[in-house]
Amino acid sequence: MQKTPAAQPPPQRHYRYYEFVMAAFVTVLICSNLVGPAKVSQVDLPLLGLVTFGAGVLFFPISYVFGDILTEVYGYARSRRVIWAGFAGLAFASFMAWVVVSLPPAPFWKNQAAYEVAFGQAWRVAGASMIAYFCGEFVNSFTLAKMKILTQGRWLWSRTIGSTVAGEGVDSALFYPLAFYGTGIIPDEKLPLVMLAQFVMKVGVEVAFTPVTYAIVGWLKRAEHEDYYDRDTNFTPFSVRV
């Protein structure tokens, strides 16, 4: 009896720019987590007065912009692969920073203290950063994918901003208590204010980048001939399958 050949899965589509968007996402993520957090800035803004913030907050939200672009154009499953790539890159960068800081300095090298300030994140801060990133990015991607179906692809601004509110809200709500509660670095009673200020600034960056997001999304959809809707997607975060 002749066997019926097993059905073959459909061939994977090849995209011209997907890898470039992935590289940009991972680069912004790692740089904003390693370069920015070591510096605390203070600026005097109209109406708001003196505002104190970690310098990384200016660039970290750009990773959410790329996350929105990935989910909007390529779909949740391909965005999920990028989130995992970013998590792996962030984990390796944190491990590398720990190893390099821990190496004994040469007697004539006088910059160990400065190096520890810049790159010597405590394990608690590094762990909190990765947990908050993982949860926040998946909430952001999931929310945007579901809102795209709900809005039938209209009102891109509503889902880029709405998904960022959800994702950044989870990120801020997890990171600051996990990293600083009970440490005395930030008084516990001040944590809600710090979380709120950082959240508002991150969402503000997303809103400011909305015209840029529109331009990039429109160009990519035309260039890739893709506008993915996650109607039959398995939304588990614990997979890298497309």
Name the pLDDT band for 239 (thresholds 50, 70, 90).
Answer: very high
| pLDDT at res. 176 | 87
Name the residue with tokens 């070591």.
38
The CATH code belonging to domain 18-102+113-224 is 1.10.1760
| pLDDT at res. 11 | 60
186/237: higher pLDDT: 237
| pLDDT at res. 7 | 47
| pLDDT at res. 166 | 96
Average pLDDT score over residue span 84-92: 94
Instruction: Say whether pLDDT at 155 is over 60.
Output: yes
Instruction: Say whether pLDDT at 5 is over 60.
Output: no
The predicted model scores a pTM of 0.88
| pLDDT at res. 14 | 86
Burial (CB < 10 A; 0-12, 13-18, 19+), residue 14, is exposed
Instruction: Say whether pLDDT at 85 is over 90.
Output: yes
Instruction: Say whether pLDDT at 168 is over 70.
Output: yes
| pLDDT at res. 121 | 72
Instruction: Say whether pLDDT at 10 is over 70.
Output: no
On whether the CB atoms of residues 57 and 117 are closer than 8 A, the answer is no
Average pLDDT score over residue span 45-74: 84
On whether the CB atoms of residues 80 and 239 are closer than 8 A, the answer is yes
| pLDDT at res. 32 | 84
Instruction: Say whether pLDDT at 38 is over 70.
Output: no
